[in-house]
Chain A
Amino acid sequence: MSHTIFVWIEPTHGAVDPIAWEALAAARSVAGERPVVGLLPGPAEQPAAAEAIQRGADRVLLIDEPALPQLQTEPFAAAVVQLMQNHPPAVLIVGATAAGLELAAVVAARLGVGLATNCTALSFDGDQLVATRPALAGNVIAAVSGPQVVTLRRRALEAQPLDAARSGPIEALPPLSAAIEAAVRIIGTEPADHQVSLANARVIVAGGRGVGGPAGFEPLQALAQELGGAVGASRAAVDAGWIPYAHQVGQTGQVVQPELYIACGISGSIQHLAGMKTAKTIVAINTDPAAPIFKYAHYGIVGDLFEVVPALTEAIKQRSG
């Protein structure tokens, strides 16, 4: 019997995190004749349900819980577990956000099935799902056989464009049993600093030790703004207190995969490379031509970032002007 592929569609602040559309694209890439079922928390009238169909789902199931205005792992995991038990064999694809990883891990534990996280590609080998994932700080790419729950790394795949010709049923599941109550209570939320939002950024301009101090990030901010990107930082810059931790890229920061990563005054330690070396295009700007970052860069400029970065901002302004 062929698998049902469930895809978790994570809502965030009234919209859908775009990683969900990438997860749907991953599902379509391996689906063949297998049904792709989008799982969306919330009411039927939300536009995300129809969009999920147009982005690749054959069917959307709504997990509508008026009693749970905010997404909480435990009750929604219970609903997903029940669905997967009712449709064997089943696999679940979840976007690798913090909340998505938590949901995936809990579902896999409750079902007692294999889990592979932060995957960059999926395939089927007969009846077995095979997931490709980076390990060891990105220095090894491992193929993991047999997971039934996977999380997909952000920007590993492109979302499918909206296809208005696609159609499919959108159905609401019966409400969860009241017995599944979350012990943890959400008492407030603060929006994250949107200037930071590294995970979704197409372009990241990052600074390291060479930036020299908090003020040194100003030209990087200006370049990032000109490119519509975000500002990242190495651990050295964060530990020095020049920029908050939310900007940190690397082994103990965020793993990012932008189209363009501009590393300014970053030497390129293994810990930093672990967070950014899969960026599509890497530009390195550093005064030291022997800096390891150049080994991983597509374009390198040996020079003072305080001269090169403003010149870049200016060159981009001129091009658009």
Chain B
Amino acid sequence: MNIITLVKQAPDTTQLSGSLDGLKLLAEGAPRVLNPWDEYALETALQLVEAHGGSVTALMVGPAAATETLRTALAMGANQAVLVDDPALAAADTLATARTLAAAIGKLAPFDLIIGGRAGIEGNTGATAIQTAALLNLPLVSYVAALKTVDPAARTLTAVRLLDNERQIVETPLPALLTVVKEINEPRFPTFMQLRKAKKATIPTWNLADIGLTAAEVAPQVSWLAELPPAGQARLELIEGSPAQAAAQLVERLSKQQII
């Protein structure tokens, strides 16, 4: 099976525990890693190729520096990685990114499966992979929590989708695009040897012209007007006393405000 995984870069929020300043996260120099959701997509692809043969390509739209993040994907086991970087993509919205991915996928074809994560933790829009499927007119199976059967010969797979109020079992023909949720697997850690090998790998970078797009085709439809700091922090009232006293006081306060 030839599988393309859609990956992106994200700020490493584990480095910032205790320091909850989102604007600091945005600042340049904040450590950036493989978007956590995409690790599950990559792991899904790697397991499928281990079972059925084939190759995994990690595809990313991002700045030149994101090449380093693609090395993580290679170290995990992806056979090749491709970066799409162009100045016209600096303010890309989800549709512009989806158009770019769709064009790059066209250049990487043929493929059996495209797998993306649920969302990027940064913008948390969760739409790019879905829109990529729509643009490519590919069958879409989103929020996959488990793969029940994968039959490369019959070119079908069945999957369990995790929706708000139900789990849905669906069958799709291949090629198709999947997005996966965390429940699907436990992503592997790269070994030292793999990390060393990935450091030396050549990662091609394509610009818009390489994939047959113009800047006008990826002009963003939405613009970010302002970034406001989130609403002020709560004012903490510490409730003291024995567990029974504290519990009684808390229940009284919550009742008074009609919260319970």
> In the bound complex, do residue B167 and residue A312 qualify as a contact, i.e. CB atoms below 8 Å apart?
no
Binary A-proximity of B127-143 (CB < 8 A = 1, otherwise 0): 10011011100011111
Which of chain B's residues have a CB closer than 8 A to the CB of A304?
Answer: 243
Binary A-proximity of B166-178 (CB < 8 A = 1, otherwise 0): 1111111100100
Binary A-proximity of B92-127 (CB < 8 A = 1, otherwise 0): 011100100000000000000000000001111111
Option from A105, A141, A299 in Cβ contact (under 8 Å) with B127: A105
User: Complex Cα distance A114/B225, Å?
Assistant: 14
In the complex formed, the residue of B with least CB distance to A125 is: B225
> In the bound complex, do residue B164 and residue A147 qualify as a contact, i.e. CB atoms below 8 Å apart?
no
> In the bound complex, do residue A140 and residue B229 qualify as a contact, i.e. CB atoms below 8 Å apart?
yes
Which of chain A's residues have a CB closer than 8 A to the CB of B171?
Answer: 184-185, 187
CB contacts under 8 Å to B, within A105-152, are 105-106, 108-110, 112-118, 130, 134-148
Among B131, B239, B254, find the residue whose CB has the most chain A CB atoms closer than 10 A. B254
Surface stretch bound by A, among B22-30, B67-75, B198-206: B22-30
Option from B17, B226, B247 in Cβ contact (under 8 Å) with A311: B247
Asked if A215 is at the interface of the complex by the 8 Å CB criterion, the answer is no
In the complex formed, the residue of A with least CB distance to B223 is: A145
Among B164, B183, B238, find the residue whose CB has the most chain A CB atoms closer than 10 A. B164
CB contacts under 8 Å to B, within A249-286, are 251-253, 255, 259-260, 269-271, 273-274, 277-278, 280-283
Option from B21, B164, B239, B254 in Cβ contact (under 8 Å) with A99: B164
> In the bound complex, do residue A137 and residue B259 qualify as a contact, i.e. CB atoms below 8 Å apart?
no
User: Complex Cα distance A13/B165, Å?
Assistant: 8
> In the bound complex, do residue B13 and residue A137 qualify as a contact, i.e. CB atoms below 8 Å apart?
yes
Q: Main SS of the interface on chain A?
A: mixed
> In the bound complex, do residue B227 and residue A297 qualify as a contact, i.e. CB atoms below 8 Å apart?
no
> In the bound complex, do residue B236 and residue A299 qualify as a contact, i.e. CB atoms below 8 Å apart?
yes
Shortest Cβ distance from A10 into chain B, in angstroms? 9
> In the bound complex, do residue B165 and residue A192 qualify as a contact, i.e. CB atoms below 8 Å apart?
yes
Binary A-proximity of B243-254 (CB < 8 A = 1, otherwise 0): 110111011011
Shortest Cβ distance from B22 into chain A, in angstroms? 2
* A252 and B226 in contact, given A114-B95, A136-B22, A297-B234 (Cβ under 8 angstroms): no
> In the bound complex, do residue A253 and residue B131 qualify as a contact, i.e. CB atoms below 8 Å apart?
no
Asked if B51 is at the interface of the complex by the 8 Å CB criterion, the answer is no
A/B pair count, beta carbons within 8 Å: 282
CB contacts under 8 Å to A, within B148-185, are 158, 161-173, 176, 182-183
> In the bound complex, do residue A190 and residue B167 qualify as a contact, i.e. CB atoms below 8 Å apart?
yes
Option from A140, A199, A203, A319 in Cβ contact (under 8 Å) with B227: A140
> In the bound complex, do residue B164 and residue A12 qualify as a contact, i.e. CB atoms below 8 Å apart?
yes
> In the bound complex, do residue A186 and residue B169 qualify as a contact, i.e. CB atoms below 8 Å apart?
yes
User: Complex Cα distance A74/B170, Å?
Assistant: 14
User: Complex Cα distance A270/B135, Å?
Assistant: 35
> In the bound complex, do residue A301 and residue B250 qualify as a contact, i.e. CB atoms below 8 Å apart?
yes
Asked if A76 is at the interface of the complex by the 8 Å CB criterion, the answer is no
Count of chain B residues near A, Cβ 8 A? 86
Shortest Cβ distance from A111 into chain B, in angstroms? 10
* A140 and B183 in contact, given A13-B165, A99-B164 (Cβ under 8 angstroms): no
User: Complex Cα distance A98/B36, Å?
Assistant: 19
> In the bound complex, do residue B127 and residue A191 qualify as a contact, i.e. CB atoms below 8 Å apart?
no
Surface stretch bound by B, among A44-52, A53-61, A85-93, A288-296: A288-296
Option from A114, A117, A144 in Cβ contact (under 8 Å) with B126: A117
Shortest Cβ distance from B38 into chain A, in angstroms? 11
Asked if B228 is at the interface of the complex by the 8 Å CB criterion, the answer is yes
Among B183, B222, B238, find the residue whose CB has the most chain A CB atoms closer than 10 A. B222
In the complex formed, the residue of B with least CB distance to A198 is: B164
User: Complex Cα distance A315/B22, Å?
Assistant: 38
User: Complex Cα distance A73/B17, Å?
Assistant: 38
In the complex formed, the residue of A with least CB distance to B11 is: A136
CB contacts under 8 Å to A, within B206-260, are 220-231, 233-240, 243-244, 246-248, 250-251, 253-255, 257, 259-260
In the complex formed, the residue of A with least CB distance to B179 is: A102
Shortest Cβ distance from A308 into chain B, in angstroms? 5
Asked if B20 is at the interface of the complex by the 8 Å CB criterion, the answer is yes
Shortest Cβ distance from A297 into chain B, in angstroms? 6
CB contacts under 8 Å to A, within B23-68, are 23, 25-26, 36-37
* A298 and B243 in contact, given A112-B221, A319-B251 (Cβ under 8 angstroms): no
In the complex formed, the residue of B with least CB distance to A74 is: B140
Asked if A80 is at the interface of the complex by the 8 Å CB criterion, the answer is no
Asked if A30 is at the interface of the complex by the 8 Å CB criterion, the answer is no
* A118 and B93 in contact, given A97-B164, A137-B13 (Cβ under 8 angstroms): no
User: Complex Cα distance A197/B165, Å?
Assistant: 7
Asked if A302 is at the interface of the complex by the 8 Å CB criterion, the answer is yes
Asked if A172 is at the interface of the complex by the 8 Å CB criterion, the answer is no
8 further contact pairs, Cβ within 8 A, besides A117-B125, A192-B165:
A102-B140, A135-B123, A142-B228, A184-B176, A188-B168, A270-B18, A295-B236, A308-B247
Asked if B16 is at the interface of the complex by the 8 Å CB criterion, the answer is yes
Option from B139, B169, B259 in Cβ contact (under 8 Å) with A187: B169
Provide 24 A-B residue pairs closer than 8 Å at the C-beta atoms, listed in order of the A residue: A13-B166, A17-B164, A102-B130, A104-B127, A106-B140, A118-B124, A143-B224, A144-B222, A147-B222, A148-B221, A190-B167, A190-B169, A259-B259, A271-B13, A271-B14, A274-B121, A299-B238, A299-B253, A299-B254, A302-B238, A303-B246, A308-B243, A314-B244, A314-B247
